[in-house]
Amino acid sequence: MVGRDRSVVTVINYKGGVGKTTVTANVGADLASRGKTVLLIDLDPQASLTFSLYDPPFWERELADERTILQWFGSVLAPGPPEPLSKFVLTPPAVNTVIAGEGGGRLDLIASHLGLVDVDLDFAAELGGSRFQHGSPRYLELHRSLVEALAREPFDEYDLVLIDCAPNFTMVTRTGIVASEYLMVPAKPDYISTLGIDFLRRKLSELVHEYNRVAPPGDLRIDPQILGIVFTMIQYGSAGPINVAKNYLRHGEQIEVPVFQTTLRDSKTTFGTAGEEGIPAVLSPTANPTVRYELQQLGVELLAKIRV
């Protein structure tokens, strides 16, 4: 575990558009409203998590040039010690006003940048090619950059760190997984979304095997566990999930991957406008009450699984 009494969870799926950002933002906001101190890290170049808490004009004006994860990774790749990651922590005002009104904790964010997509080219250059060769002298240092940054004292106050990753296994994603104890895998109950889950599990096993070959015995070894699949965007009929969805809801059992009991229904009216005011749906008074309840239950189930 990174830090005392804290868990780090990466939210990932190889398929985009499955609700990764929705899960990350809403679970984080809900747990903060319950008194937890939560840090969100946006490692997706699309920056959807960032833009759900800050509007794009503010991001462009105040954050883009100096206060995102892009600049921090730049310092990691530059000669000398990297800048403290704590320098890039933000406390989004709108959502934290609501959290404070409920007598809760705090929700912080390390913002992403659209230019993050190019960072992997810089990582590849440092590691001797696009395959991230484990023989590189900087292999362990670069893979551990995020976990080492989170181990510093300013991050001891957090109960939970949630990392929103891009739908790929680039070097940026790998730093997030190396820093994590657990993975959550949002998935729509359809063929394409569930197909990627088994592939993700194989890629995770490959990373763990490759990394642990380089890491010395002891605490530097990693063993991140898949907490479970979170089925999202479920279409409901009068008798519950439509039949085609029911078939895919059993996919986790077939490939022996845990599945969260809580599922999230499709609600375009709730999620379509969520984030416009910088407040995730779980804390919005105008959100569908059933959707809010499902999001709250997902937070409760996550806490039970990681025992924070």
Which domains occur in the chain, in start order? 7-306 (3.40.50.300)
The CA distance from 178 to 147, in Å, is 7
**Per-residue confidence (pLDDT) for residue 244, from 0 to 100:** 47
| Strand order from edge to edge, sheet including 37-42 | 89-90, 106-110, 37-42, 160-164, 7-11, 182-187, 225-231
User: For residue 222, which amino acid is it?
Assistant: I
Quote the mean pLDDT of the chain.
88
Neighbours of 286 (CB within 10 A): 12
Residues 28 and 38: beta-carbon distance below 8 Å: yes
Reported confidence tier of residue 243, pLDDT bands at 50, 70, 90: very low
Neighbours of 297 (CB within 10 A): 16
**Per-residue confidence (pLDDT) for residue 199, from 0 to 100:** 85
Reported confidence tier of residue 100, pLDDT bands at 50, 70, 90: very high
**Per-residue confidence (pLDDT) for residue 228, from 0 to 100:** 94
The CA distance from 295 to 297, in Å, is 5
pLDDT at 148 over 60: yes
